[in-house]
C-alpha cells in the first residue's frame, strides 16, 4: 500500500469536518487575501461534495473531532509574496502502546510553496486551496465509496 492509499484510509467513516483557516497575515489581508471568502469557498466545496461541515458545538462531541485545517503562510517581498499552503485533515489519534493518550494529528495532507506578485495573491491562493480541497474530496469519496 502506498502512502496516499494509507492516508486515504484514515478518512473512512468520518461523519464530517469543521474547517479552520489560519495564517493569513495583516499585510496579505491588506493586499486582498480575504480569509472569510476562503472559508466560505472551502465549506461550499465540501458541502457540494456531500461532506458535512460541522458547526463547532457539534464537532466538539464528534468521535475523532476531524477538522480540515488550511494554513496560509506568506512573506511579502517587494511587490510579491513567497507563500506556503497546507491543507490537512487532522483528527484525534491514540498511541499504539497506550490508547488512553490521544492528540490531534494530520492524517491526510497536501500543499505547496510558491512565489506570486501582489496582484495575483487572492486568485492564486484561492485556486491552490481549491485544488487541494478537491484532492481531499476525491480521497474522502474514494475511502467512503460503497
How wide is the angle at C-alpha 5 spanned by C-alphas 7 and 59, nearest 5°?
35
CA distance 124 to 116: 8
Residue 8 has what pLDDT?
82
- H-only helix segments in the chain: 3-9, 26-30, 35-48, 56-59, 121-143
Average pLDDT, the chain: 92
Q: Each residue of 76-117: pLDDT tens digit?
A: 999 899 999 999 999 999 999 998 999 999 999 999 999 999
CA distance 109 to 80: 26
Residue 1: pLDDT above 50?
no
pTM assigned to the model: 0.91
Mode of pairing for the β-strands spanning 67-77 and 102-117: unpaired
3-state secondary structure at position 42: helix
Q: Each residue of 111-131: pLDDT tens digit?
A: 999 999 999 999 999 999 999
Amino acid at each position: 500500500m502506498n502512502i496516499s492509499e494509507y492516508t486515504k484510509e484514515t478518512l473512512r467513516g468520518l461523519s464530517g469536518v469543521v474547517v479552520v483557516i489560519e495564517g493569513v497575515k495583516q499585510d496579505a489581508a491588506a493586499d486582498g487575501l480575504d480569509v472569510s471568502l476562503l472559508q466560505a469557498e472551502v465549506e461550499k466545496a465540501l458541502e457540494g461534495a456531500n461532506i458535512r461541515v460541522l458547526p463547532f458545538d457539534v464537532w466538539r462531541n464528534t468521535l475523532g473531532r476531524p477538522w480540515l485545517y488550511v494554513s496560509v503562510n506568506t512573506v511579502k517581498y517587494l511587490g510579491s509574496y513567497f507563500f506556503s499552503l497546507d491543507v490537512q485533515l487532522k483528527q484525534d489519534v491514540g498511541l499504539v502502546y497506550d490508547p488512553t493518550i490521544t492528540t490531534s494529528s494530520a492524517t491526510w495532507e497536501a500543499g505547496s510553496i510558491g512565489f506570486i506578485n501582489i496582484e495575483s495573491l487572492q486568485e492564486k491562493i484561492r485556486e491552490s486551496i481549491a485544488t487541494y480541497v478537491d484532492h481531499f474530496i476525491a480521497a474522502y469519496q474514494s475511502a467512503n465509496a460503497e
